[in-house]
Amino acid sequence: MNKIIRSLSVAVAATLAIGASAASASIKTKQSVPVSKGTAWLSANVQPNGSVLGTAGVNFDNTAQTALALSGTTDAKVAHEIALYLSRHVSQYVNPTNGAASSGDDPAALAMLVKIAEATKTTSQMHVSTLIFKILQTQQSTGLFGVQDPTYNGAYRQGLIISALRGAGVKSNTAAMTKATNWLLAQQCPSGGFSEDAALDPCNGLASNYQGPDSNATALALDGLASVGLLNSSAGKHAITWLKNTETAQAGWGFYVGNNTDSNSTAIVAGALHAMGVSPSSSAFAKGKATPVTCLERYQAANGGFVYQAGLSPDQISTQEAVRTLSMLTK
């Protein structure tokens, strides 16, 4: 999968950027067949204690992403149990090395917990006020949250964190949010898309070198900007235009311009657009009879899981992101 971001703790991203929408959907009693099948696939991987395993024990990234994905489905109770598990293992998720290599707390993981808490109604068990304090403590003088290398997820994580903080009630005109927003705006390329870090990930870089603006960073950056009231700003409009112009013939998105369509990028962009109040199912994003919804559904395997691209096996990240997005866009 493109760019190391897919293996980072903010994977799905994403996005992802739909905590408020997931919360409002947590009482859902009906859902589409693709969502039902995907929900069953994800729930089958949840352990009795609420965790999701990887190749070497509990995989906290997948555990968190599964909680957020299921929170908007008929298996919202499973999401609640996963959230309670995470509330008991915050340190292992947000700082698995206990501060080794001077990395400190991962602000993107903290933001994910904030979104999960809101979506599963576990804000008290998750101690959200403490999570917010920890996020703010990671902010650098530049405005970027976290000391982790931003080359592969700078704008992505910044948009996610800004959105999470706003969803938790942090006002957009505070000094920390203003600095964070200004840092994010500085990563927008002349084309309208966002690179992860304009200094380390140049806008004129080659996609073959994993450089330049990408769909995932642009979607999450847009969601962050929208949360502070900048969706209709020139930066916001420019970014939406970039996403429209980079949509593939299949009505989906690849990671970079010119890449083949993949389910992860399609789900992240469609989910973020929906969270911003921009319908990805509108005629503006249709390609003939295809829409981002029909595009995404094409990646579902017979067993209910979703594949990254045709010919591959279903995987956790693709299924998490597809279920999360489709649960919002379909019934």
Long-range contacts: 311-315, Cβ < 8 Å, 24+?
314/41
For 175-197, b where at least 16 C-beta lie within 10 A, e where not — what string? ebbebbbebbbebbbebbbbbbb
210, amino acid identity: Y
**Which tokens hold the place of 38?**
């995907």
- Spatial separation of the C-alpha atoms in residues 79 and 77, rounded to whole Å: 5
**Which tokens hold the place of 129?**
């006020």
Q: What's the residue count for the chain? A: 331
Residue 50 backbone class (left: φ over 0; alpha: ψ -120 to 50; beta: rest): left
Is pLDDT at 12 greater than 60 in this prediction? Answer: no
Of the candidates 52, 72, 56, 78, the residue with the CA atom closest to the CA atom of residue 64: 52
User: What values do phi and psi take at 139, rounded to 5?
Assistant: -70, 130
**Which tokens hold the place of 134?**
């920890």
Is pLDDT at 24 greater than 60 in this prediction? Answer: no
Is pLDDT at 112 greater than 70 in this prediction? Answer: yes
Measured CA distances, 249 to 42, 93, 98, 290, 292 (Å):
29, 38, 46, 9, 10
Is pLDDT at 13 greater than 70 in this prediction? Answer: no
Is pLDDT at 245 greater than 60 in this prediction? Answer: yes
DSSP state of 313: P
According to CATH, the topology of domain 4-329 is Glycosyltransferase (1.50.10)
Q: 152, 5 in Cβ contact below 8 A?
A: yes
Measured CA distances, 284 to 47, 231, 241, 247, 280 (Å):
41, 17, 10, 11, 8
% of residues, the chain, pLDDT over 70: 89
pTM equals: 0.90
**Domain limits of the chain?**
4-329
Of the candidates 220, 228, 313, 218, the residue with the CA atom closest to the CA atom of residue 263: 313
How confident is the model at residue 96, as a pLDDT? 79
